[in-house]
């Protein structure tokens, strides 16, 4: 891009941010296929209890794993948010920078630089951006960006044909 641009802000990785990340970037699947592992473990554990002389603790353990897996699918959002809140990065301060090189997220635990050329696609959501790159995907909330930064990201995504709507 011809013009130089630089924007920096800080935010806290709190529960509200994790909730927004999940709601904007994860498609919840509650079909029976999502429960396949749960069904498999529960059925296998149940069959072991009924039809084999194997130690019942092993069979009941597998059955219990199946139940826990079913709960993790059904309660996917609170399960994911709780895991994030228990992580070491929870409640830490993140510095977000957007400039002509790309997007940089820096905290005590992480220092990620997403160069514009390394970004595969950018999906605009209702409340932010999902940025897909070679190492996975990340979510950036628009609530931390001013209007100029939002327009800069939008313009960069459109100019490089990386935007997905």
- 140 and 118 share a domain? yes
101 in the same domain as 114: yes
CB 41 within 8 A of CB 66: yes
Task: Determine contact, residues 142/130, Cβ cutoff 8 Å.
Answer: no
**SS3 label, residue 87:** coil
Are 82 and 95 in the same domain?
no
The mean per-residue pLDDT over the stretch 14-30 comes to: 91
Are 46 and 68 in the same domain?
yes
44 & 74 share domain:
yes
Tell me the pLDDT tens digit for each residue of 123-165.
888 999 999 888 888 899 999 999 998 888 888 777 766 666 5
Structure confidence at residue 80 (pLDDT): 92
In a domain, residue 96? The reply is yes
Whether the model clears a pTM of 0.85, i.e. scores above it, the answer is no
Residue 123 lies in a domain: yes
69/119 same-domain check:
no
Q: Are 106 and 132 within one domain?
A: yes
* Res 85: pLDDT: 94
Confidence of residue 64 (pLDDT cuts 50, 70, 90): very high
**pLDDT single digits (tens) 80-104:** 999 999 999 899 999 999 998 889 9
133 and 103, same domain (yes or no): yes
The CATH number of whichever domain residue 149 belongs to comes to 2.30.29
Residues 75 and 95 in one domain: no
* CB-based contact 131:111 (threshold 8 Å): no
């Amino acid at each position: 891009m011809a013009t130089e641009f630089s924007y920096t802000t800080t935010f806290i990785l709190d529960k509200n941010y994790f909730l927004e990340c999940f709601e904007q970037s994860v498609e919840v699947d509650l079909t029976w296929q999502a429960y396949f592992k749960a069904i498999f473990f529960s059925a296998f554990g149940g069959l072991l209890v009924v039809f084999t002389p194997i130690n019942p603790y092993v069979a009941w353990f597998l059955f219990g794993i199946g139940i826990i897996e079913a709960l993790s699918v059904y309660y996917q959002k609170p399960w994911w948010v709780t895991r994030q809140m228990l992580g070491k990065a929870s409640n830490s301060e993140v510095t977000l920078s957007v400039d002509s090189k790309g997007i940089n997220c820096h905290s005590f635990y992480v220092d990620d630089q997403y160069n514009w050329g390394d970004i595969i696609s950018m999906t605009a959501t209702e409340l932010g951006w999902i940025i897909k790159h070679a190492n996975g995907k990340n979510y950036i909330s628009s609530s931390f960006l001013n209007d100029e930064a939002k327009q800069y990201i939008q313009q960069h995504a459109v100019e490089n044909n990386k935007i997905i709507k």
